Chain A
Amino acid sequence: MSFAVDSHIIGHFGPYGGRFVPEALIGALDELALAHEVALKDPIFQAELAELHRTYTGRPSIITEVKRFAEHAGGARILLKREDLNHTGSHKINNVLGQALLTKRMGKKRIIAETGAGQHGVAAATAAALMGLECVVYMGEEDTKRQSLNVARMKLLGAEVIPVTQGSKTLKDAINEAMRDWVTNVDTTHYMLGTVAGPHPFPTMVRDFHRVIGVEAREQCLELMGRLPDAILACIGGGSNAIGIFHPFLDDVNVRLIGLEAGGSGIESGLHAATISGGSPGVLHGTRSYVLQDANGQTVESHSISAGLDYPGVGPEHAYLNDIGRAEYRAITDAQAMEAFALLCKTEGIIPAIESAHALAGAMQIGKELGSEAVLLVNLSGRGDKDVQTAADYFGIPL
């Protein structure tokens, strides 16, 4: 049997996924689903995207074995998939280049995007600059203050950044505002959603653009070791880097797939962003999945030291993989993530994104559980340059 769901036609992953959107968006979602479906089978599109990845993104991303770090993880062998070395500094570029090519194919000239920490916004602005598209990025007002450097980066790249002052003024409200823009300007505009959430076809399409991570990693593992890893670990906010590395391994049933959610101050504190570990099934931003919500179905604000994981929803395919038991999800607290962050810096000379540090903290736990014979593959989804301020504050380093 196969654990991969054919979500291309109906957009469902078991009871999850689907479309919960105003009727005004159905036409655009159908158009996008068709464009994606055609592009997936079109060798010209695939060649164009592969060439961009080779000459612009810097793919394939390399594998780095981290032996000194592994001494703190029960001696298990630990391999990092280096998405942090991609252009713009994270896996996000995989998705935006794919969607930008689709935007041009659909004849649209304007893209909109949401961003929390600014990583997807920067990636979207980059793709727009490369392909000559107008770009508007919605960003919660709170986040524009916390991430002013990324706001400047987006502006340098020619994007307009609109601070969102509604609701909690963070990522979730930036998505609401982007959807309102899209409903209004759908004829001319493509919504370049940054993760594997939202209405069909986004969870399927964004996953397909990130599968390159897992496809490369599978070949690299076989080449390097002649076998597959025992476990693959990735951090989960919306879940795009995780699904990208998990998906090509779904039918390799001996490979454990482990998603590390943002546990914030701990699930029991209520201050976290661990949607699967600490939430319940519901509908948010056009898709059914796990959601952080109260007794009335109102979305509850999430909390994490990592802005990129600070989202009260999660991609529907992860909800499905959790329920059928093919993937496992654990929460990593802010403190555990920061310990792993500091350790990778000092033992390997690599400053990871705080998001990715959640996966590293997971490796420290799993490595100890599995012992020194085990091989763990960790998706290092982004680099930590953007997090220097946060980390300096956390560790008390004066700036």
Chain B
Amino acid sequence: MSTPLDTLFVRTRSENRAALIGYLPAGFPTQQGCIDALTAMVEGGVDAIEIGYPYSDPVMDGPVIQAAADTSLRNGTGAAEVMATLAAIAKIAPTVVMTYWNPIEKYGVDKFLADIKGNGGSGVITPDLTIEESDPWIAASTSHDTNRIYVVAPSTLEERLRKVTAATSGFVYAASLMGVTGTRTTVSSSARGLVSRLREVTDLPIAVGLGVSTPEQASEVAQYADGVIVGSAFIRLLQEAHNPQDGIAKVRALAQDLAKGLQRS
């Protein structure tokens, strides 16, 4: 069986372009505001959506996503709101949920994946779940036929890349640099090196995230990766917006600009 996400990458590969993946935490800036902004992203040309499950202790995230997650948690976002956002967005684009491990464990691994699947989700990105702790996760995601997306880093050695990608499906999330999420002025040169090392060990699609925020950066990454992930740049637009309409318009415009540079020459 393949998920909507698997189907997307088959298509973008045949079109010789990278897929554009947009991220927002559920419940940010509000529950409905998040759904509206994600919808605008898809209308603007984003191919797939990553919904963040806001968590109290997000050690992989820089200040922009931390602040957004704080806002969302203060809005009362929990599992029900994450699932509701997923149900709304999965109707219009392939969608995955990104979450730290503890909320999954608390919800129940099997029930979590049943609800991801039931709400139309393709899979889950787990940034702090190591392969050594994954046995129950691998069993449950296999039986629910959902994508298991792990994050690898420039410091990950080849033997480990093999091990992690062997357990991965959907795409491999390649962290562009040693650090946390957030916008950067340039995409780290370590991204290209990591992607080429990944190509040696897997045929899976590879998407690059962390520090990609401008159309120029997206276009550069699209030359060598199968997917480009943009998060903090969208969040900043919503944080700086004068009003909700203004924010949504700017999100749509950034999605359009980013989408222009995905074709490989």
Point out residues on A near B: beta carbons under 8 Å: 10, 18-24, 26-28, 166-167, 172-173, 176, 179-180, 183-187, 282-286, 288, 291, 293, 295-299
B79 within 8 Å of A (CB atoms): yes
| A23 surroundings in chain B (CB, below 8 A) | 130, 150-153, 155-156, 160, 164, 175
The answer on a CB contact under 8 Å between A27 and B156 is: yes
Which of A18, A282, A284, A296 has the largest count of B CB atoms less than 10 A from its CB? A296
With A23-B164, A183-B178, A296-B78 in contact, do A176 and B58 touch (Cβ < 8 Å)?
yes
Is B234 an interface residue when CB atoms closer than 8 A count as contact? no
* Known contacts A179-B59, A298-B103, A299-B57: A20-B133 contact under CB 8 Å: yes
The CA of A282 and the CA of B102, in the complex, are separated in Å by 6
Give the chain A neighbours of B107 by CB distance below 8 A.
Answer: 296-297
Q: How far is the CA of A23 from the CA of B130 in the complex (A)?
A: 7
- The 25 listed contacts between A and B (C-beta, < 8 Å) are A20-B129, A22-B59, A22-B127, A22-B153, A23-B130, A23-B155, A24-B154, A24-B156, A26-B130, A27-B155, A167-B56, A167-B57, A176-B57, A184-B178, A186-B155, A282-B105, A284-B57, A285-B57, A291-B102, A297-B104, A297-B106, A298-B55, A298-B78, A298-B103, A299-B57
**With an 8 A cutoff between CB atoms, is B118 at the interface?**
no
User: Which listed residue, B130, B152, B156, touches A20 by the CB 8 Å rule?
Assistant: B130
> CA–CA, A173 to B66, complex, Å?
11
In the complex, which residues of chain A have a beta carbon less than 8 angstroms from the beta carbon of B215?
A: none
With A180-B59, A296-B79 known, 17 other A-B pairs at CB within 8 A are A18-B133, A19-B132, A20-B133, A21-B59, A22-B153, A22-B175, A23-B160, A26-B156, A167-B56, A184-B178, A186-B155, A187-B178, A288-B133, A291-B102, A296-B78, A297-B103, A298-B103
Given A176-B57, A180-B62, A297-B103 in contact, is the A24-B175 Cβ separation under 8 Å?
Answer: yes
Asked whether A176 and B103 contact (CB < 8 A) given A20-B129, A23-B164, the answer is: no
A184 partner residues in chain B, CB cutoff 8 A: 178-180
Q: Decide: A21 and B130 in contact? CB cutoff 8 A.
A: yes
Given known contacts A20-B129, A24-B178, A180-B180, is B78 in contact with A172 (CB within 8 Å)?
no
Q: Contacts A23-B156, A183-B180, A184-B178 hold; do A293 and B57 have CB atoms under 8 A apart? A: no
Bound complex: CA of A166 vs CA of B65, how far in Å?
11
What residue in chain B is nearest A28 (Cβ atoms)?
Answer: B155
Q: Is B224 an interface residue (CB 8 A)?
A: no
Q: Are B60 and A22 in contact (CB under 8 A)?
A: yes
Q: Quick check: is B139 within 8 A (CB to CB) of the other chain?
A: no
What B residues does A19 contact at CB under 8 A? 130, 132-133
Q: Is the CB of B179 within 8 A of A183?
A: yes
Residue of A10, A18, A183 touching B59 (CB-CB under 8 A): A183
